[in-house]
Amino acid sequence: MTGPADRFLKPASPHQRRYEALRARFVEGCSTAEAARRFGYTPGSFRNLCSRFLNQADPAFLFPDPPARPRRAPDTRPPDRRRARIRELRASQLSIHDIHRALQREGQGASIGFIHKVLKEAGLTRLARRPPDQRPAVLAAPVADRRELDLSPRRLRTDFGGLFLFAHDLAQLDLDHLVRDLLGSRMIPPGCAIRALLALKLWGIGRPSRVMPEVLDAGIALFAGLNAMPKRATLTDYSCRVDPRHLTSVMERWHHALAGLDRRLGHGQSFDLDFHTIPYHGDEALIEKHYVSKRSRRQKGILTFLARDAGARSFVWANATVTRATQHDAILRFVDAWTQRTGAAPAELVFDSRLSTYANLARLEAAGIAFLTLRRRTARMVDALLAAPPSQWRRITLHNVGRAYRTPRILDQTVPLRDYPKPIRQIAITDLGHDRPTLLLTNQMTARASDLIDRYARRMVIENTIADAIDFFHMDALSAAVPLKIDVDVQLTVMASALYRTLAARLGDGFETQKPGSLFRKLVKASATIDITPTDIIVTLGRRAYNPHLLKAGFAERRTPIPWLDQRRLNIRFA
C-alpha cells in the first residue's frame, strides 16, 4: 500500500521528481549515481539536469507556472436566426431530416450535424418513430410539375451548379425537339423527364435507396426544367413506358444534332467494338445467361453491344437487345445503322474474337470494311506455330512508349479460313508476356504489322471506357432502388458520355483524354448560387482550382437562351 512518504520518495509528477532528485543531491548530499538511481534517471541525464540547474537562475525551472489560458474574445456576431427556426420547427414535431429540408427550401441551409447540435443544446430528445400517416403534411415532397416551375426573380443555392456547364450544349441540341416522340404529360413533358434522368447520369448518382434525398435540391430541378425532381417511382415508370422504336429514332436525331455541334462525335472512321453483360440478380426466367468477364463465369444478365469512336473516345452506338441467338450479327446491325446514319460504312472495325464468325468476316470484306480481330487458338495451331523455323519469325519494335514488351517476335502469313472466300492475313505474336502466341486476323494486307498490333492494343481502351461507364455512369445498376428499363439506361449512358467528351474537347489542354469521373471531380462537382432575373439565369460557381480552364474555354462569355427556362439566357460566372 502506498503511504504518504511515497509521495515524496516516489513522485509521480515529472516536475516533483526533478525537484526531489535535485534536493537529494544538493541538500541531503547524495552522490550523483545514488540520486539518479533513487529517482529513475540515468547517470548521464542526471548530470545534465544538475548542470542545467546550476546554470539556471530562474526559480520557475523547478516548478514552472502553468500556461495562461487564452482569453476568448467577446462574441459580437449577430444572433443566428437558424437556431430559433430549428427550435420552432422541432416544436411542430419535425425530425432532423425534415428540418434540414425545410431550411433548404427557406434558403437557410444547415447541416444535419448543426441541427443535431442545436437540438442537443436545447435539451430536446429524438422523436419516436412514426408511421407515414401520422407525419406532418409538411414532410410531403413537392410533386414534379412543369406548370409549377417558379421563374420569378429570386436567388437560390444549389450543390449541383456544375450541371449547368452542360446546359449550353443541351440548348443548342434542342433536346425537347429531339425527344418529341417519347411519351410525356403536361406535368412532366418528355424533355423534362429525359433531362431529369440525364442529370443523375451526369452527376454520377448511382440510384441507391437514398438517391432521392440527395436530389431534393432546387438547382437540379431547375436544370431539368421542373419545380422539383420526379420521385423514384415516376422515373422508373417513365423508363418502362418508352417505346423502343421511338427511342431508336430519338438516338438517331441525337447523333445528327451532336455531329452538328462537334463533327468529331459524328463522323468517326475507326471503331472499337465489345460486348458487356449487365448482371441481373432477380428470378426472371426469360433472362439468359451470358459470360461476365469480371467474374470469369456465366450468369444471368443483359448482353449489351457497345461501339466506341476511337478518335472521339466516346460511345456512338449501343444495343441492349442482344440475345445469344443474335449476338454474332450485332456487328452487322451496327454497320447497317452507321451506314444509314452517315451515308457511309465504317472504315475500320476492331473487336474481339467472340463478337463475330468467319462468315460475318466475309460479309465485312465484301462491304469493303477493314477489320482487325483476334483468332481463337487451338492446341494444333499453337504446336504448328511453335514448330515453324526460327528464320520465319522476325522481331519488330512497337511505337507505344508505355508498352512493357516493345520488341515482340511475329510470324506474318496468310492462311485459309472456313467460310471465308480467300486467304486472310494472320499475325502470330510472341514475347508479349503470354504463354501462348497471340493471333491477329485482318484483311489489311499491306499495313505494317507494328501499326496493326499497336492499333489492336489501343482497342483495349474500350474495356477501360466500359469500366468507367460502370463506375461513374452506373451502367450495371440494373437492380438499383431506382430501376430503369435497360435500353433507356444504356442510351442515357451514351448521351452522358458524349456530353462529357464535348466538354473535354471544348477545354483542350489535355482534358480530351481524361475520363468522365475525373472531369466530374475537377470541373463539374461544384456548388453555385443561382440568380433568376426576368431575362437571365446567372449561375455563379464557387472557387475551384480548375476554374481558369473553364474561363479559358469561354464559358463566361457564352449567353445561350435556354428553351425550357422560357428562353432566359444562361450566364455562368465564377466567384
The answer to whether residues 55 and 87 belong to one domain is: no
Among 15, 31, 61, the domain-final residue is: 61
Q: What DSSP assignment string belongs to 296-362?
A: TEEEEEEEEEEEEETTTTEEEEEEEEE-TTTGGGHHHHHHHHHHHHHSS--SEEEE-GGG--HHHHH
3-state secondary structure of 425: strand
pLDDT score recorded for residue 213: 52
Q: How far is CA 273 from the centre of its chain?
A: 22
Q: Are strands 438-442 and 370-374 parallel, antiparallel or unpaired?
A: antiparallel
Task: Tell me if 203 is assigned to some domain.
Answer: no
Contact call for residues 524 and 163 (beta carbons, < 8 A): yes
Residues 6+ apart with CB under 8 A from 78: none
Question: Cα–Cα distance between 363 and 365 in angstroms, integer?
Answer: 5
Contact call for residues 508 and 523 (beta carbons, < 8 A): no
Question: Cα–Cα distance between 23 and 50 in angstroms, integer?
Answer: 10
First vs last C-alpha separation in the chain: 69
Among 112, 139, 166, the domain-final residue is: 139
User: What length is written for the chain?
Assistant: 575
pLDDT digits (tens, 9 = 90+) for 484-536: 778 888 888 888 888 998 898 888 878 887 888 888 889 898 889 999 999 99
Task: Tell me if 85 is assigned to some domain.
Answer: yes
pLDDT digits (tens, 9 = 90+) for 317-344: 888 888 888 888 889 999 998 888 888 8
pLDDT score recorded for residue 530: 93
Q: Edge-to-edge strand order for the sheet containing 536-541?
A: 154-158, 528-532, 536-541, 568-574, 560-562
Contact call for residues 218 and 250 (beta carbons, < 8 A): no
Task: Tell me if 361 is assigned to some domain.
Answer: no
pLDDT score recorded for residue 170: 92
Question: Cα–Cα distance between 319 and 251 in angstroms, integer?
Answer: 11
Task: Tell me if 49 is assigned to some domain.
Answer: yes
Cell numbers placing 251:
438516338
Please count the structural domains in the chain.
2
Per-residue pLDDT of the chain (575 residues; tens, 9 = 90+): 466 776 677 777 788 888 888 888 888 888 888 888 888 888 888 888 888 888 776 666 666 766 666 666 554 545 567 888 888 888 877 888 888 888 877 767 788 888 888 888 888 877 777 776 666 554 456 788 898 888 999 999 888 999 999 999 999 989 999 988 888 888 999 999 999 888 888 887 765 444 555 567 888 999 999 988 888 778 888 888 888 888 888 888 888 888 877 766 667 788 888 888 877 766 666 677 776 766 667 777 788 888 888 877 778 888 888 888 888 888 999 999 888 888 888 999 998 888 888 899 999 999 999 999 988 888 888 888 888 888 889 988 887 656 677 888 888 889 898 888 889 999 998 887 778 888 999 999 988 888 888 888 877 766 767 777 667 777 665 545 556 778 888 888 888 888 998 898 888 878 887 888 888 889 898 889 999 999 999 999 988 888 899 999 888 888 999 999 999 999 999 88
Residue-range definition of the domain harbouring residue 111: 81-139
Contact call for residues 175 and 265 (beta carbons, < 8 A): no
3-state secondary structure of 424: strand
Question: Cα–Cα distance between 364 and 385 in angstroms, integer?
Answer: 27
Q: Domain with 22 in it: what CATH number?
A: 1.10.10
pLDDT score recorded for residue 207: 55
Nearest to 99 by CA among 117, 115, 75: 115
Residue with grid cell 476511337, as numbered in its chain: 310
pLDDT score recorded for residue 266: 60
Task: Tell me if 100 is assigned to some domain.
Answer: yes
Question: Cα–Cα distance between 137 and 44 in angstroms, integer?
Answer: 77
Task: Tell me if 476 is assigned to some domain.
Answer: no
Residues 6+ apart with CB under 8 A from 286: none
The answer to whether residues 128 and 88 belong to one domain is: yes
Contact call for residues 480 and 207 (beta carbons, < 8 A): yes
Task: Tell me if 525 is assigned to some domain.
Answer: no
pLDDT score recorded for residue 270: 87
Task: Tell me if 27 is assigned to some domain.
Answer: yes
Question: Cα–Cα distance between 374 and 354 in angstroms, integer?
Answer: 9
pTM for the structure as a whole? 0.69
**CA distances for 548 relative to 162, 261, 506, 540, angstroms:** 14, 23, 13, 14
